[in-house]
Structure 1
Amino acid sequence: MVSRTVTEQPHAHRPEHFTSDQVGWLPWLAPLTEEELTPRHREALVNETRARMPYFALLVRDPDALEARTRTDFDIFHNTEGGLSRAERELAATAASRFNGCVFCASVHARFATRLAARGEDVERLLAEGVETDTGDALWNAIVRAAVALSRTPVGFGAEHVEELRANGLSDSEIGDVVNSASFFNWANRLMLSLGEPERPAEKERVR
């Protein structure tokens, strides 16, 4: 029988706000150690550096599910030929994570969106003010609204969201990329939020 020891983190420095700073993650169940990883576990990680990341070291307890999850993730966010820009995919993931309350995921994807779009002030405003804020760009606002509608309840995403995205220049394939990016993180947020909590180094607390 595989042990899944519950871990306690009484001294965790929990983030008090959404932030684009580096944020850690503490699992509530024990991840596998690097010494416990079998060849199948390492294959399922896809990128072996993830063996040192608690989230993936926990998920790899089910290697088949993790490998499918990771390859889906990579295809949605890295296969950008002929589709939506990577920055806008990261924006959709950030918006879903901000709406769902996943501080860790929001921080990761906010950094990607900031770096790729060079629009740090707009991303920071989304984190600080929430998904109702005006990003200053009609397309970005449409992507955020679509991501939030999908995250609130998938059937809440409707023709009006598609038409708004089209009106702002997106093709059907690019709209599909918005849907995939937001939907993947709508699911991923819930998984991460149910298995652990974010942690910040005390010296990196941001004041808002």
Structure 2
Amino acid sequence: MSDKIPFTFEELVWKSWSHPARLEDCTPAQIAVLEESDPSAKTNEYYLTLIRDEQALKARSQLYNAIMYPREGARRADREFAATAESRVNGCVFCASVHARLFVTFGKDRPSMAALLDEGIGAELPPKLRAIADFAAALAAVPPAAGPEHVAALREVGYSDAEIGDIGNAVAMFAWANRLMLTLGEPERKA
């Protein structure tokens, strides 16, 4: 096991604890699933680990892409912040680093993201991000503790019911995705 990496904006790599599939051993159907999953999937150990069950990876990638990349609904920055908050709660340093950078790209608010990464969910945040962080933390609790007060807080800062659903989907996606990633491997610093 590698040294513990703190939450960071740094670009990390994810290393599988099992033996990922080798691209040259993948079937044409597996290659097609990798290509539709993510542009980097054919060189990424996470996708090459998941491709052993190509139908599950295909379904996972379609769901992920539908939740995180639609043109309508909640802003992309809000979805990325929700993913990062959930990843911060779950301890998924790899996902937090990826989605923190994406949040900064789309949301143009590095100081708020730095506070979340450095201090955790309790960091001082602008009202909209505070509502997302509280919702993510409550949804991450076991059992989930998100309730009408979290939805009301999101409405109070201006989110529509459809946008709240989008943010909830992003949080729920990462509640699952973080656990899968944390079960199969760990992040490492790039060489």
Structure 2 residue runs of 5 or longer lacking an equivalent are: none
Aligned twin of 1:115: 105
Aligned twin of 1:31: 20
Aligned twin of 1:70: 61
Counterpart pick for 1:88 among 59, 69, 78: 78
* TM-score, normalization by structure 1: 0.87
Residue 197 of structure 1 aligns to a residue whose secondary structure is strand
Percent of residue pairs bearing the same amino acid type: 43
Aligned twin of 2:154: 165
1:61 aligns with 2:56: no
Supply the AA of the counterpart residue of 2:107: A
Residues 92-171 of structure 1: pairs in structure 2 closer than 5 A: 92-135=82-125, 137-153=126-142, 155-171=144-160
Distance 2:188 2:4 in 1: 6
Distance 1:127 1:49 in 2: 25
Structure 1 residue runs of 5 or longer lacking an equivalent are: 1-9, 203-208
Distance 1:39 1:173 in 2: 38
Aligned twin of 1:174: 163
Contact 2:5 2:188 (8 Å CA) reproduced: no
* TM-score, normalization by structure 2: 0.95
Q: 1:42 to 1:154 in 2, by over 3 A?
A: farther
Larger radius of gyration: 1
Distance 1:90 1:196 in 2: 22
> CA RMSD of the aligned region, Å?
1.3
Q: 1:32 to 1:48 in 2, by over 3 A?
A: farther
TM-superposition CA deviations, 1:179-202 (whole Å, max 9, x none): 000000010000000000110136
